[in-house]
Amino acid sequence: MSDSDHPVDAVRLEQYEIVWVLPAQYALKDRPDGFGLEIVDFLGPGGLDHRGKGTVWVRGPVIHAASTAHGVRLVRGEPVTVAVPHDQPRAARTGGQVRRPPIPDVS
């Protein structure tokens, strides 16, 4: 089996995709339910998450929607560095908004 046929490839994180970061991973006071993060840089391997899965350190801006005269657009905010697993939930992008995907609550 080649590396590209590996089952993990289906969930592998990619540069510039938007993942949903849970408050237990990185808490932002003004985002109690978590936030969208655009992955810009991969910084290296992290430790194990609460499930015992390996993580990778990533850095990128917090993403939020802003209303403009021309509609809603995504805006890059403050940069954040956080360790996330390769199966980190991807943010749901609906109607110009970045929303929490349907994932179970994690403490």
* pLDDT interval class at 98 (50, 70, 90): confident
- Compute CA distances 40 → 37, 43, 52, 59, 67, whole Å: 9, 10, 25, 6, 24
Q: Whole-angstrom Cα distance, residue 84 to residue 101?
A: 16
pLDDT value at 8 more than 50: no
Q: Tell me what pLDDT residue 82 has.
A: 97
* pLDDT interval class at 9 (50, 70, 90): very low
Strands 18-21 and 35-38: antiparallel
Q: Whole-angstrom Cα distance, residue 39 to residue 44?
A: 13
Q: Tell me what pLDDT residue 79 has.
A: 97
What would the pLDDT profile of 29-85 be if each residue is shown by its tens digit?
A: 999 989 999 999 999 999 999 889 999 999 999 998 777 787 777 889 999 999 999
